[in-house]
Amino acid sequence: MKKSLIISLMVAALVCVFALPAVIAGNAPADNMVLKAPEGVKMTKAPVDFSHKGHEGYGIDCMVCHHKAASKDAITGCTAEGCHVDASKAAKKDPKGFYQAWHSKKADASCLGCHKKEKKAGKKDIPVSCKSCHPKK
């Protein structure tokens, strides 16, 4: 009895050690992503290489950028239905449009808005020019 209890506890411990990290990582986003326009939309600049870890390192909460999600478990991309889906030329200046999700200078939830705010606050090496985010490939 005692031997089977010890074996059961060891097996349970091993399952926790090996399975738990996989379960926790299941909701984690890909570290390196390439941000580009939705399919069917012509891009005029190169896609943007994006690092979640890099932004996490600055202490940015996921919910700042993913402001429409109800929780971290409910996060979807900006091109998901109900978010910044309109990538038309007419929607370029619309705060709900695809372009403004990244380029609005007024919204903290947009890349450019946040980067400009951080640069103004004195942070170094924050990209704010087109070429620093959209390098020619």
Give the domain CATH number at 123. 3.90.10.10
In a domain, 24, yes or no: no
Predicted TM-score (pTM) of this structure: 0.71
pLDDT for residue 84: 84
The rounded distance, in Å, linking the Cα atoms of 12 and 32 is 34
SS3 120: helix
DSSP state letter for 80: S
Find, among 79, 49, 78, 74, the residue nearest to 65 by Cα. Answer: 78
pLDDT for residue 40: 81
The predicted-structure confidence for 82-102, as pLDDT tens digits, reads as follows: 788 888 888 888 888 889 989
pLDDT for residue 117: 92
In a domain, 96, yes or no: yes
| CB atoms near residue 60 (< 10 Å) | 14
Contact 134, 46 (CB under 8 A): yes
In a domain, 75, yes or no: yes
For the chain, residues with pLDDT lower than 70 are: 1, 5, 8-9, 11-28, 137
- Residue range(s) defining the domain that contains residue 34: 29-133
**Which residues make beta-bridge pairs with 49?**
34
In a domain, 122, yes or no: yes
**In the chain, how many domains are there?**
1
The rounded distance, in Å, linking the Cα atoms of 35 and 47 is 6
In a domain, 5, yes or no: no
In a domain, 3, yes or no: no
In a domain, 61, yes or no: yes
In a domain, 16, yes or no: no
pLDDT for residue 27: 58
